[in-house]
Amino acid sequence: MSEARITRGRLAALAGAVVVTAGAVALSTSLRASDHQQTVLTELNPRMDITDMFMFPAMAGTDSVVARDRVVLVMVTSSPLTPAQTGAARFDPNLLYQFKIDNGGPGGTANLDGVEDLVIQVTFDSTTNNQRVVNVRGPVAPPALMAADGSPLPRNGTATVLVRNAPQASIVGQPTGTNVTVPGAGGDIRIFAGATDDPFFVDLEQFFRIIPDRKPESGPLAALPETPTATAFRGPAPPFDVTRGAARNFLAGINALSIVIELPELLIAPGANKTVGMWGTISR
């Protein structure tokens, strides 16, 4: 009798051989906006597509949470989803969604250098309804990564791993807006991850008539002429261009998968400098 022991490394190798389908949804419409379907890769893989990033001060509204000194970070992905496609749309458990923060570093100045000083990592487990989990790690310093020869890779590199021993919050089950307390990190982090309205608004058709280079590869808007056929935007109401009609918001009624994180400002700007830069990434 002998006992077979499978190590983590071997399991990881095994897992690499498993083909996981990512719940791809065929899209009947083809739209792009601020960054919608910006490349062929993201057009064909909407779960890899960040369409908008936002950063704004938390609002008190009718909420019981005190908004003062809190900030909201938003990542919008996977647009465009029609309402019919929205119910089955899921974040991809094989992707890593990250909010990157440049706060000038320890004792930093307002002269931001574009290097990430802190990161918030978001991953998802499962696409099955009652097993869906949202994992949020951070904000923490980005994890160190070693090259094959053991030397450290640049702090701002685009290859990364999940940070270990980080403050972590999880929402288990159907993701909805939830208060999650991160222990010892200076205050509540509120997390939402799920389907929302796409907040963007733009007259894409006329934009592509003016700058055809930015057209998508497929869908009705791909059929627009390759050379510019307009030099101005359309008017909002009659009298307007009789052949092309009034300006039209191509994202009206369209949905997306969004991640919203509201947290204390101190967690992203712990030093004296309070000017921060923020951007979002998706990794696979």
The number of C-alpha atoms within 13 Å of 40 and in the hemisphere containing its C-beta is 1
CB of 22 to another protein, least distance (A): 10
In whole angstroms, give the CA distance from residue 195 to residue 83.
10
CB nearer another protein, residue 26 or residue 260: 260
Structure token pair of residue 139: 């904000």
CB nearer another protein, residue 76 or residue 221: 76
CB nearer another protein, residue 184 or residue 193: 193
The number of C-alpha atoms within 13 Å of 173 and in the hemisphere containing its C-beta is 3
Neighbours of 77 (CB within 10 A): 25
CB of 59 to another protein, least distance (A): 5
Q: Which residue has the tokens 């733009």?
A: 202
CB of 33 to another protein, least distance (A): 8
- Report the side by side order of strands in the sheet with 96-102: 96-102, 118-125, 133-140, 168-172
CB of 195 to another protein, least distance (A): 4
CB nearer another protein, residue 114 or residue 239: 114
CA distances from 219 to 14, 29, 222, 278 (A): 38, 6, 6, 32
CB nearer another protein, residue 30 or residue 258: 258
CB of 184 to another protein, least distance (A): 19
